Amino acid sequence: MAQAAIELIGINKSFGAVRANRDINLQVARGTIHGIVGENGAGKSTLMSILYGFYQADSGEIHVGGKPASIHTSNDAIALGIGMVHQHFMLVDNFTVLENIILGAETDALLKSSIAKARSELDRLEREYGLEVDPDAVIEELPVGLQQRVEILKALYRGAEILILDEPTGVLTPAEADHLFRILKQLKEQGKTIVLITHKLREIMAITDTVSVMRQGTMVATRVTKETTVGELAELMVGRRVLLRVEKGESEAGAIKLSVKNLTVKDSRGVTMVDNVSFDVRGGEIVGIAGVAGNGQSELLEAISGIRHAVSGEVTLDGKPIDLTGKADPGELRDRGLAHVPEDRHHVGLVLAFEENENSILGYHDDERYLKGPFLNVDAIMADAKEKIEKYDIRPGNPRLRTANFSGGNQQKIVLAREMEQDPGVLIVGQPTRGVDVGAIEFIHKRLIAMRDQGKAVLVVSVELDEIRSLSDRILVMFAGRVVGERGPDATEGELGLLMAGVEHQEAAQ
């Protein structure tokens, strides 16, 4: 092995009774891309946070570039040439790219020379690594893919030789993800070392040189990527064989439960995001909506669930109309049997500062079961939360834990458990498995199919084509706010890909 850029020896870290990392050893060779995979809550983010100085290990040693290092804050890590790209970008939304990049690295009070220096340095970095981005663009106007690029530039600007990326592709479109990987390869060729955490095993196979697998806080294996397979990695992660594609029988579609006619939705700036969309979802079927992120799927879900007002259109739930253009109230729709797992669990589906049990009633908090007059029935809420934790294997199984301290996949399970256990007639789900490990994906898919088999109508929006194809009985493809095609579950990836890129749509328009 080449010289190790990072070496972790015997790292331990506990949070109270939860042992997030136990006796972890890891070596990452200089100039390689090293993948880390593992179940939700396996301790990947914790390990990287220790390396980046967010947390202190209870015991263990860190060596950087062969020398023992003591990392107490992220400034220590930055000084050692370690950079981190956070999944939730730490950028100031209304600053320009340039301003964000110098933030915290300013050298003078008036910023004049800092800015000039940063501009030329940025220019060099952009050319060297193919990371084009307009230095004067305002962050909030950039798509996520570019925002992420700014995060990478920020790390490189601070002299990062080692770059940690924690689930970088969760929020990216496939094209953006491809571009990111080209950038990472380029960085590697320039001698940088990269640690990549992801749940997408295909990405691991495509880009890493070596890969380590974590399970319940321990490092269970390290493999040379070329000598392993997706199946082996999945099995190492979960400790059993995983069905990468859940079996499902034929659907027995019943009556129409959700019907959408000529729905048009505009965003806050008045841009039409959903353009005259019509479709039905019957009981006993899963309808999947495929499409590149940003083509109106999010707005469609928000409109149907009553979060966003529609401009025009008719939607009926169980044959009865719902007024989406006036005051559709998500609470009322929920009472009528429409459950919604939102795409953005951090801001919409959960209150991260709440305890787990408080989140397990969000939206159903006015249900008599959870109340005693105007008071919350704390005992009933706790009992109910414990039941869901049991049934959905939410870890750690502590309903008093702050929701922010659950790993991403377990947070998603909290939302799913809440919405599915209400026994709704119609379930709409945005990005059911974003940031979720393979074992949990299998579990969630099984649950969704079980709901279908009980005769529920399920509408799934996902940017993961694999997920859409393995779940859906019918696939609708959205492009530029319109439904541009409907296909069966046996549609090929290429066929759907063309529809998603709007190719047929444009041909038809000509």
How many residues of this chain interact with ligand ATP, rule: CB under 6 A?
19
380 binds another protein (CB under 8 A): no
Q: Could you say which of ligand ATP, another protein, Mg ion, none residue 41 binds, taking C-beta under 5 to 8 angstroms by partner kind?
A: ligand ATP
Q: What is the Cα–Cα distance from 287 to 32, expressed in whole angstroms?
A: 41
Q: What is the Cα–Cα distance from 464 to 290, expressed in whole angstroms?
A: 8
Residues 420-449 that bind ligand ATP (CB under 6 A): 437
Among 43, 81, 296, 408, binds another protein (CB under 8 A): 408
Residue 256: helix, strand or coil by DSSP? Answer: strand
Among 332, 423, 486, 493, binds another protein (CB under 8 A): 332
Please tell me what DSSP assigns to residue 3: P
Q: Which is nearer to another protein, 119 or 200 (CB)?
A: 200
Among 44, 345, 447, 456, binds ligand ATP (CB under 6 A): 44
Q: Where are the alpha helices (DSSP H) in 374-407?
A: 378-391
Closest approach of another protein to the CB of residue 352, in Å? 7
442 binds another protein (CB under 8 A): no
Bridge partner residues of 218 (DSSP): 215
Residues 179-238 that bind ligand ATP (CB under 6 A): none
Of the candidates 86, 50, 83, 85, the one whose C-alpha atom is nearest the C-alpha of residue 69 is 50
410 binds Mg ion (CB under 5 A): no
Q: What is the DSSP string of 273-289?
A: EEEEEEEEEETTEEEEE
Binding mask 77-106 for another protein (x = CB under 8 A): ---------xxx------------------
422 binds another protein (CB under 8 A): no
Q: Are 284 and 485 in contact (CB under 8 A)?
A: no
Residues 207-246 that bind another protein (CB under 8 A): none
Q: Are 5 and 65 in contact (CB under 8 A)?
A: yes
Q: Work out whether the CA dihedral 154, 159, 163, 166 comes out positive or negative.
A: negative
Of the candidates 28, 75, 66, the one whose C-alpha atom is nearest the C-alpha of residue 47 is 28
Of the candidates 328, 364, 301, 339, the one whose C-alpha atom is nearest the C-alpha of residue 447 is 339
Region from 235-243, 267-275, 282-290, 323-331 binding another protein, contact rule CB under 8 A: 323-331
Q: Are 98 and 116 in contact (CB under 8 A)?
A: no
Residue 28: its H or E element:
strand 18-29
Q: Are 136 and 149 in contact (CB under 8 A)?
A: no
Closest approach of ligand ATP to the CB of residue 409, in Å? 4
Binding mask 31-70 for Mg ion (x = CB under 5 A): --------------x-------------------------
E runs forming strands in 102-243: 162-166, 193-197, 210-215, 218-224
Q: What is the Cα–Cα distance from 452 to 63, expressed in whole angstroms?
A: 52
406 binds another protein (CB under 8 A): yes
Binding mask 375-414 for ligand ATP (x = CB under 6 A): --------------------xx--------xxxxx-----
366 binds another protein (CB under 8 A): yes
Q: Could you say which of ligand ATP, another protein, Mg ion, none residue 358 binds, taking C-beta under 5 to 8 angstroms by partner kind?
A: another protein
Residues 111-170 that bind another protein (CB under 8 A): 166-167
Spatial neighbors of 78 by CB under 8 A, at least 6 apart, are 158, 159, 160
Closest approach of another protein to the CB of residue 343, in Å? 11
Q: Could you say which of another protein, Mg ion, ligand ATP, none residue 447 binds, taking C-beta under 5 to 8 angstroms by partner kind?
A: none
Q: Which is nearer to ligand ATP, 45 or 297 (CB)?
A: 45
Binding mask 201-240 for Mg ion (x = CB under 5 A): ----------------------------------------
Among 105, 125, 244, 351, binds another protein (CB under 8 A): 351
Closest approach of ligand ATP to the CB of residue 348, in Å? 18
Whole-angstrom CA distances from 440 to 104, 233, 276, 445 are: 39, 15, 35, 8
Closest approach of another protein to the CB of residue 132, in Å? 27
Q: What is the Cα–Cα distance from 63 to 56, expressed in whole angstroms?
A: 14
Q: Which is nearer to another protein, 161 or 166 (CB)?
A: 166
Whole-angstrom CA distances from 394 to 41, 133, 361, 413, 417 are: 10, 40, 15, 7, 9
Residue 314: helix, strand or coil by DSSP? Answer: strand
Binding residues for Mg ion (CB under 5 A): 45
Binding residues for another protein (CB under 8 A): 13-18, 45-46, 49, 54-58, 72-73, 86-88, 166-167, 305-307, 329-332, 334, 340, 342, 344, 347-354, 358, 362-363, 365-366, 371, 374-376, 378, 395-398, 400-402, 404-408, 411, 435
